[in-house]
Amino acid sequence: MQVPLLTTFYTSDGTEATLPPSVVTITQAMVNPYRENLTKVFLSNIKVIGVSSFHDCESLVSVTIPASVNVIGEGAFNRCTSLRYIHYLGTIEQWNAINKEYEPFYLVPTSSVFCSDGVVNI
């Protein structure tokens, strides 16, 4: 199976990405070409954030995760050393129900997720 690259979803300088509703799973292979420049991501209709999807995206500052997410894979955001803002569009209860595999936020500087009804620690 060919992995789609996200070229059409990124700004011309590769710093921001907004994924369309047709993309429901994001993988490391989809992010790799943009890893060095990516600063902001809006995951519109994602259900699965795959293993190591954003691993080592050292420029990533902000990610918006929709309430549709039900799995955050192992190491999904590991070593995103600039990640300061994690916005979750669902409630704290919904966030707590997500299957978060082993250490999806290892070595991330923020310890908080901003949900629609408050803040929760990761």
Q: Which of 7-16, 61-70, 98-107 has the lowest mean pLDDT?
A: 7-16
Residue 82, domain member (yes or no) = yes
Residue 56, domain member (yes or no) = yes
Residue 59, domain member (yes or no) = yes
Residue 2, domain member (yes or no) = no
Domain CATH for 25: 3.80.10.10
pLDDT at 12 over 60: no
More confident residue, 4 or 102: 102
Cα gap 50→91, rounded to integer Å: 22
Tokens of 63: 């990610």
Which residue shows structure tokens 């995760």?
65
pLDDT of res. 37: 84
Which residues 6+ apart lie within 8 Å of 89 measured at CB? Answer: 64, 65, 66, 67, 116
Entry pTM: 0.86
pLDDT of res. 66: 94
Full DSSP string of 48-78: EE-TTTTTT-TT--EEEE-TT--EE-TTTTT
How confident is residue 70, by pLDDT bands cut at 50, 70 and 90? very high
pLDDT of res. 7: 42
Domain limits for position 18: 7-121
pLDDT of res. 4: 43
Q: Which residue type occupies 81? A: T
Q: How many domains does the chain have?
A: 1
Residue 1, domain member (yes or no) = no
